[in-house]
Structure formats: C-alpha cells, structure tokens
C-alpha cells in the first residue's frame, strides 16, 4: 500500500511539474516572440524600392508635399514600438478651448527657449523613442520656468538607464520614458560633446546622406551602459543634475493635442512610417506610396495651415540636413499614420 501511494505521489509531482513546465514555456515563448519581433528594427524591414524611385513617384503625383532622394536606409532609426505597452493615464480637459489660433509656433511665443530651436541627431541608433520625450521635456521646463531655465533633458540617460522602456538602440516605448521621468528622474544631457550637461548623447551627428558636413554614420552601435555619474570632464554631481516630471499622461485627438501644446508645450508623438516618409523635403506629408517600415517617435511643437491643408509642425531627430531643416509637416485632423492616436507628455517638477 505504501509503495502504491509513493508511486502515485511521484506520478502526481511529475504531472504537476510537467504542467508548470509547459505553462512556463508558453509564457517564455510569448515573451520571446514579442522581444524578437521588436529587438532589431534594422532587421525588421528593408525598402522594397529605391528612394529615388519613391521620390520620383511622389513628385509625379503632385500632392501636398515634395520628395527628394537620400542615399540611406532609415529603417534602423525607427525604434518606436507602437503596440504592447501599458498605456499611461489619458488626460481629459475639463473645458475645451474653442478659440485656439489657426496656426501656432512656440518658437515665436517663447523666443528665449533655445531648446525649441534645437535639432538633435540620434545618429545610427534606434533611439527615437528616447529623443522625442527628452526634447519635449526640455521645452516644457523652459516654458514652465517663464523662459528662464535652459535645461536639456538627457536622451542618453533615458536610452541607457530606462530598462523598462524597451531595448535601447533596438527600440522602446516612448510613453515609458515619461513614466521614467516621473518615477526615477532623468539627468541633464545635450548634444554630443556638451560639457555643460551631465550625460550628453554618446554619438556625434552624422551624415544621413551620401555626402554631408558631419561625416559618415557608424554601421552599427550598441546601447551604452547605464551609468549613475556625469561624463568625465563635466564637473557636476549626478544627483544635482536630475530633472523630474510631476505627471505623465497621453492625449488623443486633434483638439486635445492642440490644447495641450498651447497650454503646456510640445508633446511626443509616434506614428507609422512608410517608405515614402524618409524622402520628405517640403510641404505637408501624407502617405501616398510604399510599404511599412516601422514606428517612429518625434516631437510635435505646433500646427498651421498650408495652401488650405491643415498640418502638425514636427521636429525630427535626423539632424538639420534632413527634411525642411530637420522639421516636417504632417497632415492634421485625420490621424495620418496614427499620429493622433496617443501623444505623450507630462508636467515638469521645478521644485
């Protein structure tokens, strides 16, 4: 009898272990599949046509924008993961402002905020998800301080230290950068070589073209290690260079995003990039040709109307030699490429 019970106990434990093993493997496979899907943006998609063919086709259509040819594959830079993240709280305005201007450019409203005039460069790292939030955070600190603080929030610090945000140079969730700013804080950091900030970006600007003024981009780069001190040569204390957000939230829809920008400053937004977007030069972009490439995070600073077409005014992070001196306009009011789905923002804590 005891022998029988012992054998039954062994069988029960084996069955239980087998069951848990399969549950564990199922969960592991699920997590691994999601990770594999997003881990290497540079390996996900390649352009199916040459940029020259795409640009020529766009210009022949004579739509709301013009294209040009950049001899570079931009797919590795598209690091914004557009799904799978737990959403931030959604901000809802108690009173909708019905008297917003037809056009708004914060560079005119806040001329002393130098960060609003800055065009950053993520170089050859899929770190757009850290750049869009860091740039908007910098602008919001200046605006809330009455244009007195010229703080630059470090995209490098977000990229390297926010492990819950994603996969570093291989992509991440922009919304989580705002949450990280609120919960943990982000140190100061400007462009490569900026000794006035704690953790400037680890890569210099580079040519996203065949020829340019910055020099060639590196072929591949690894995510930098998270460090809790300021870069050598910067005589600053890490803790004293920390910036924080009081809140982190999303805003959806044209009118809500406009009101948020008007009241509090630029926002980060992500959208789906197709093969025609990297050829943008001037005008109001709308997708007309080409396949899906990936997700991209940028900063929306304002809005306007061009030849009767409403647009968002956006800042990219591919330096000032791309597009319209580093900026672009994209169709507003129709959720073009998903750009109005969920912009992200937060209010800075100025202590």
Q: Which residues form the catalytic set? A: 128, 296, 316
Determine if residue 211 is left, alpha or beta; phi over 0 gives left, psi from -120 to 50 gives alpha, anything else beta.
Answer: beta
Tokens (6 digits) for 141: 């600190």
Cβ distance 304 to 104 under 8 Å? yes
Give the C-alpha separation, 189 to 195, whole Å: 9
Burial (CB count within 10 angstroms: exposed 0-12, middle 13-18, buried 19+), residue 81: buried
Calpha distance 273→73 (Å, rounded): 13
Cα–Cα distance for residue pair 341/197, rounded to 1 Å: 33
CA 73 – CA 126 distance, rounded (Å): 12
User: What 3 state SS string does 302-336 have?
Assistant: EEEEECCEEEEEEECCECCCCCECCEEEEECCCCH
């Amino acid at each position: 009898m005891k022998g029988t019970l012992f054998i039954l106990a062994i069988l029960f434990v084996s069955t239980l272990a087998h069951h848990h093993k399969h549950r564990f493997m199922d969960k592991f496979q699920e997590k691994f599949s999601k990770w594999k899907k997003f881990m290497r943006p540079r390996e996900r998609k390649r352009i199916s046509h040459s940029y020259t063919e795409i640009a020529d086709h766009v210009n022949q259509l004579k739509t709301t924008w013009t294209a040009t040819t950049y001899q570079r594959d931009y797919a590795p830079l598209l690091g914004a993961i557009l799904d799978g993240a737990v959403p931030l709280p959604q901000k809802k305005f108690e009173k909708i402002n019905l008297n917003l201007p037809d056009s708004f450019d914060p560079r005119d409203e806040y001329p002393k905020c130098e960060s609003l005039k800055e065009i950053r460069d993520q170089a050859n790292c899929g770190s757009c998800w850290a750049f869009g939030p860091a740039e908007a955070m910098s602008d919001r600190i200046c605006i809330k301080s009455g244009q007195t603080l010229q703080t630059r929030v470090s995209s490098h610090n977000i990229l390297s230290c926010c492990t819950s945000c994603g996969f570093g140079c291989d992509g991440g969730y922009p919304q989580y950068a705002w949450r990280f700013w609120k919960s943990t804080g982000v140190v100061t950091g400007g462009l490569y070589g900026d000794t006035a900030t704690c953790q400037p970006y680890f890569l210099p600007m580079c040519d996203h073209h065949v020829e340019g003024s910055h020099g060639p981009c590196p072929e591949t780069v690894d995510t930098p290690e998270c460090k809790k001190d300021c870069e050598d040569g910067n005589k600053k204390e890490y803790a004293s260079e920390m910036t924080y957000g009081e809140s982190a939230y999303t805003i959806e829809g044209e009118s809500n995003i406009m009101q948020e920008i008007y009241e509090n400053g630029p926002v980060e937004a992500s959208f789906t990039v197709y093969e025609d977007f990297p050829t943008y030069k001037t005008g109001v972009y709308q997708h007309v040709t080409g396949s899906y490439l990936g997700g991209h995070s940028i900063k929306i600073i304002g809005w306007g109307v061009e030849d009767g077409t409403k647009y968002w005014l956006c800042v990219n992070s591919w330096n000032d030699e791309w597009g319209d001196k580093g900026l672009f306009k994209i169709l507003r009011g129709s959720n073009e490429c998903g750009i109005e789905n969920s912009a992200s923002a937060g209010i800075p804590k100025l202590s």
